[in-house]
């Protein structure tokens, strides 16, 4: 049986919740009707669009048509051959019709090997689909993080400029030295350069996402959603590592593909053993001038396996099967390692996020609140308020990076296991709310 695109699509749908969409001609784009571009593209919409249009994956899906052609070719019966000798001079006319008979016991093995190859390609494409989903999620997370970095860089630049204006005013009043102001000016220039760099990084992240989604040459605009991105609810206490490893080893499509490749190699080895005699039936052999006029009779033509019995092809097929068995062991151990590695990265990312979100960020927020209250009572300088605010911005950036790393680790762990880890989505925002930069009158600060 030939495995069609719908079989691969069903497998990917079962494992990820997304199908491959309808087949389309090359260079054509197709979008699901529930994808709305105007309100910003969400992560789930990005995955749906990418699975339908990712150019590299669409190229791989063309292998299904090749396996279909191989099955058709394996199932075909060899055409009869006609041999004739023309009656020239004293030579009598001879005619023979050769029909291959070895097809009776070779064709089933050929078809079985081709069908196993078709199943192997389908399993490989299912794994490729999991990889594409992972790549889309990672590209989307990087794009969102790059946008957030631009926002933080802009606020950080505004903060540095505020410090520079205060320093210049105090320099004019003779309260600070020129050397101190030079350091503040340099810091302001660094902030301006950071805005430009993060903006270019955001452009690069957007273009990479456009390529992965397959819309690089289209006029579709990628807009970041206005609502906060959702966070996938997954917790270490809900995951059992040994169960995840066993599940990956027993059900991952790439491992199943190698198993099927072993079976196909064994079928080719059996085919090489059977294809020794190369028997063809002569039905019939006709002579035009015999003792009784036209004479006809059946016969056989076959190869005598005297000098070799196809040992070369048999050895090659057996060696290929042994190589694939060893490849399966390697892929099995690799799958277990990938799950364990992704799980450890998930634990670390979850720990980091908890540290920044529950401890460091609240303390930075409290420091800003305390410094602003002290400023109102003239107990601290404005520079201390600005410094604590900058620390808060840095803490917010690290918290967002930790959140992005957690989402990356979840995407990688789901790819390694071969299925989603959770079907629930939390509506909590990815990050805490930004504390606005305090607006202080420079004239009041320099009095």
Q: What is the mean pLDDT of residues 157-174?
A: 79
Q: What is the mean pLDDT of residues 240-252?
A: 93
Per the CB < 8 A criterion, the answer to whether 59 and 67 are in contact is: no
Give the chain's end-to-end CA distance (angstroms, integer): 86
- If you average pLDDT over each of 102-116, 276-290, 323-337, which comes out highest? 323-337
- Residue 231 falls in which region: left (phi positive, over 0), alpha (psi -120 to 50) or beta: beta
In a domain, 93, yes or no: no
Give residue 427's pLDDT.
33
Question: Residue 161: which of 442, 443, 444 has the closest Cα?
Answer: 442
Question: Residue 124: which of 185, 67, 181, 60 has the closest Cα?
Answer: 60
Give residue 431's pLDDT.
39
Range of the domain at 212: 5-61+101-275+310-445
Give residue 426's pLDDT.
34
pLDDT at residue 231 tops 90 = no
In the chain, what are the helix, strand and coil shares in percent, each to the nearest 5?
65, 10, 25
CATH of the domain at 379: 1.20.1600.10
Give residue 229's pLDDT.
55
- Choice between 234 and 268, residue whose per-residue pLDDT is larger: 268
Give residue 348's pLDDT.
94
Lowest mean pLDDT among 31-35, 137-141, 415-419: 31-35
Give residue 382's pLDDT.
63
Q: What is the mean pLDDT of residues 392-412?
A: 92
Q: What is the mean pLDDT of residues 275-281?
A: 80
In a domain, 305, yes or no: no
Give residue 392's pLDDT.
85
- DSSP assignment letter at 360: I
- Choice between 38 and 230, residue whose per-residue pLDDT is larger: 38
Per the CB < 8 A criterion, the answer to whether 121 and 63 are in contact is: yes
In a domain, 294, yes or no: no
pLDDT interval class at 146 (50, 70, 90)? very high
3-state secondary structure of 261: helix
In a domain, 284, yes or no: no
Q: Helix 382-417 to helix 241-251 angle, to the nearest 10 degrees? A: 50
Q: What is the mean pLDDT of residues 238-251?
A: 91
CA 335/CA 259 separation, integer angstroms: 14
In a domain, 300, yes or no: no
pLDDT at residue 380 tops 80 = no
Give residue 26's pLDDT.
80
Look at the chain and report how many structural domains it folds into. 1
Per-residue pLDDT tens digits for 178-229: 776 787 788 788 888 989 999 999 999 999 999 999 998 888 888 888 765 5
CA 331/CA 335 separation, integer angstroms: 6
pLDDT at residue 301 tops 90 = no
Q: What is the mean pLDDT of residues 7-12?
A: 92
What is the rounded average pLDDT for all residues in the chain?
84
Per the CB < 8 A criterion, the answer to whether 62 and 128 are in contact is: no
Q: Which residues are within 8 A (CB) of 322 and not within 5 positions of it... i.e. 6 or more apart?
A: none
Lowest mean pLDDT among 13-22, 78-87, 225-234, 363-372: 225-234
Per the CB < 8 A criterion, the answer to whether 260 and 116 are in contact is: yes
In a domain, 317, yes or no: yes
In a domain, 281, yes or no: no
Give residue 325's pLDDT.
94
Question: Residue 133: which of 355, 443, 410 has the closest Cα?
Answer: 410
Q: Which residues are within 8 A (CB) of 102 and not within 5 positions of it... i.e. 6 or more apart?
A: 274, 275, 277, 278, 279, 280
- Choice between 446 and 220, residue whose per-residue pLDDT is larger: 220
Q: Are strands 94-100 and 81-85 parallel, antiparallel or unpaired?
A: antiparallel
Q: By CB neighbour count within 10 A (0-12 exposed, 13-18 middle, 19+ buried), where does 380 fall? A: middle
pLDDT interval class at 284 (50, 70, 90)? confident
- If you average pLDDT over each of 92-96, 340-344, 374-378, 389-393, which comes out highest? 340-344
pTM for this structure? 0.84
pLDDT at residue 246 tops 90 = yes
CA 395/CA 357 separation, integer angstroms: 9
- If you average pLDDT over each of 10-19, 289-298, 367-376, 428-437, which comes out highest? 10-19
Lowest mean pLDDT among 154-163, 272-281, 379-388, 421-430: 421-430
Give residue 56's pLDDT.
93
Cite the DSSP H helix spans in 215-360.
241-251, 253-274, 311-355
In a domain, 298, yes or no: no
Give residue 439's pLDDT.
44
Give residue 381's pLDDT.
65
Percent of the chain with pLDDT over 90: 46
């Amino acid at each position: 049986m030939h495995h069609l695109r719908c079989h691969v699509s069903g497998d990917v749908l079962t494992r990820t919740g997304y199908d491959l969409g309808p087949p389309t001609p090359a260079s054509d784009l197709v979008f699901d009707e529930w994808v709305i571009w105007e309100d910003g593209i969400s992560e789930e919409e990005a995955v749906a669009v990418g699975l339908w249009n990712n150019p590299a994956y669409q190229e791989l899906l063309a292998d299904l048509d090749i396996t279909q052609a191989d099955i058709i070719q394996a199932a075909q019966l060899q055409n009869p051959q006609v041999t004739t000798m023309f009656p020239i001079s004293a030579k009598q006319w001879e005619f023979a019709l050769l029909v291959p008979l070895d097809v009776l016991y070779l064709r089933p093995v050929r078809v079985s090997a081709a069908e196993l190859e078709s199943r192997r390609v389908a399993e490989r494409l299912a794994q490729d689909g999991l990889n594409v989903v992972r790549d889309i999620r990672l590209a989307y997370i990087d794009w969102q993080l790059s946008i957030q970095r631009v926002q933080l860089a802009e606020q950080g630049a505004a903060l540095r400029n505020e410090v520079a204006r205060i320093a210049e005013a105090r320099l004019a009043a003779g309260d600070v030295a020129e050397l101190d102001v030079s350091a503040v000016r340099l810091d302001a220039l660094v902030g301006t350069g950071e805005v430009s760099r993060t903006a270019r990084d955001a452009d690069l992240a957007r273009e990479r996402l456009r390529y992965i989604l397959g819309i690089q040459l289209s006029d579709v605009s990628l807009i970041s959603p206005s609502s906060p991105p959702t966070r996938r609810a997954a917790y270490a206490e809900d995951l059992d590592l040994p169960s995840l490893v066993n599940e990956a080893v027993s059900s991952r499509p790439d491992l199943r593909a190698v198993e099927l490749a072993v079976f196909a190699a064994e079928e080719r080895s059996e085919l090489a053993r059977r294809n020794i005699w190369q028997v063809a039936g002569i039905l019939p052999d006709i002579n035009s001038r015999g003792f009784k006029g036209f004479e006809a009779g059946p016969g056989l033509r076959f190869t005598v396996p005297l000098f070799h019995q196809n040992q070369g092809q048999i050895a090659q097929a057996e060696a290929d099967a042994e190589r694939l068995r060893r490849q399966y062991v390697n892929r099995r151990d690799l799958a277990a390692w990938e799950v364990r590695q992704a799980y450890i990265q998930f634990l670390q990312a979850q720990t980091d996020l908890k540290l920044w979100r529950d401890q460091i960020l609240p303390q930075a927020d409290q420091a800003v609140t305390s410094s602003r209250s002290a400023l109102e009572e003239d107990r601290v300088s404005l520079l201390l308020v600005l410094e604590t605010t900058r620390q808060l911005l840095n803490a917010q950036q690290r918290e967002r990076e930790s959140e992005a790393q957690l989402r990356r680790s979840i995407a990688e762990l789901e790819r390694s296991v071969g299925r989603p880890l959770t079907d629930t989505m939390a509506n909590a925002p990815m990050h805490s709310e930004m504390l606005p930069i305090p607006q202080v009158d420079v004239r009041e600060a320099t009095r």
